[in-house]
Amino acid sequence: MKIARYEFKGRAWYGILDEAGGVLREIVGEPFDGLRETGSTRRLDEVSLLAPVAPGKIVAVGLNYRDHAKEVGMRIPEEPLLFLKAPSAIVPPGGDIVYPRQSKQVDYEAELAVVIGRRAKDVPASDASSYIFGYTCMNDVTARDLQIRDVQFARSKNFDTFAPIGPWIRTDVEPDALSVRCLVNGQVRQSGNTRDMGSPVGRLVEYISANMTLYPGDVIATGTPAGVGPITPGDTVTVEIEGIGTLTNRVVAREPAR
């Protein structure tokens, strides 16, 4: 099942996507407590898709694919390396990534994103799937020059629009062998597979939930495969994950220097 979040008449709604019919079947409230349909349907062409979830926090994982760690001259850490992305950085599918004036190198990072469905504290890896609502695509946009200069990641990962996410949440997919690709202007730049993660999804839920409570709607960005590289204004960047969908955003001009 695919769950989308969308704007209709100035309000945010969740709905069940019926792709064949080109409609969304509206549900009551948030999807995490169960999917109760209101009986209303909306045509896809009368709504705009929002980010498919409004998380309290986005927990991101660095250096979780060996080939990516290698390309940046690092090794996979023994335990997952965590950082946070701010919900204020979220941009919906089709939204613009704004190139910040503070950076001279902004990179794409295609990532599988996990959407948590139940309050999760000290969850063993073997139970992780029952705490996961579903999966979506994320672009962990990064000001690489500032990430290196600042050492910690708060600024480089959190400029407004640096967290494109969507287009919807797929609830019935197994996460451990999915192709993850990034295309810039239609050219493939990353082509990886979640089977090459250092810590697979279950282990990430276990590790993160041992360190902090995860709540319904929280997102885990699970790290990026090899092939990261720059985007510049005018580019169109697409994250494509097998069985989930494609997330496309345009990069727009750097704000004028002040």
Stretch that binds Mg ion, among 22-30, 118-126, 140-148, 194-202 (CB under 5 A): 140-148
Q: 143 φ, ψ to 5°?
A: -85, 95
Of 18 and 77, CB closest to Mg ion: 77
Sign of CA dihedral 160, 163, 168, 169: negative
Of 26 and 140, CB closest to Mg ion: 140
Stretch that binds Mg ion, among 63-71, 119-127, 218-226, 244-252 (CB under 5 A): 218-226
Figure out which of the listed residues 161, 224, 238, 248 binds Mg ion, where binding follows CB under 5 A.
224
Does 26 bind Mg ion (CB under 5 A)? Our answer is no
Least Å distance between CB 189 and Mg ion? 14
Residue nearest to Mg ion according to CB distances in the complex? 140
By CB under 5 A, the residues from 63 to 92 that bind Mg ion are none
**Contact mark string toward Mg ion, 155..194, x via CB under 5 A:** ----------------------------------------
Q: How far apart are CA 229 and CA 170, in angstroms?
A: 27
Least Å distance between CB 34 and Mg ion? 32
Of 41 and 230, CB closest to Mg ion: 230
Q: How buried is residue 33: exposed, middle or buried, by Cβ count under 10 Å (0-12/13-18/19+)? A: exposed
What letters, b where the CB count within 10 A reaches 16 and e where it falls short, cover 142-177? bbbebbeeeeebeebbbbebbbbbbbbbbbebebee
Q: What is the largest CA-CA distance in the chain?
A: 54
Helix (H) or strand (E) holding 134: strand 132-139
Least Å distance between CB 228 and Mg ion? 8
Figure out which of the listed residues 107, 109, 206, 240 binds Mg ion, where binding follows CB under 5 A.
109
Of 23 and 204, CB closest to Mg ion: 204
Does 249 bind Mg ion (CB under 5 A)? Our answer is no
Least Å distance between CB 222 and Mg ion? 9
Stretch that binds Mg ion, among 143-151, 167-175, 219-227, 248-256 (CB under 5 A): 219-227
Q: How far apart are CA 115 and CA 130, in angstroms?
A: 12
Of 109 and 218, CB closest to Mg ion: 109
Least Å distance between CB 69 and Mg ion? 11
Does 140 bind Mg ion (CB under 5 A)? Our answer is yes
Residue in the structure block whose two tokens are 């999804």: 201
Residue 116: which of 171, 63, 165, 173 has the closest Cα? 171
Q: How far apart are CA 74 and CA 78, in angstroms?
A: 12
Give the CA count within 13 Å in the CB-facing half-sphere of 237.
Answer: 33
> How many CB atoms neighbour CB 66 within 10 A?
15
Residues that bind Mg ion (CB under 5 A): 109, 140, 224
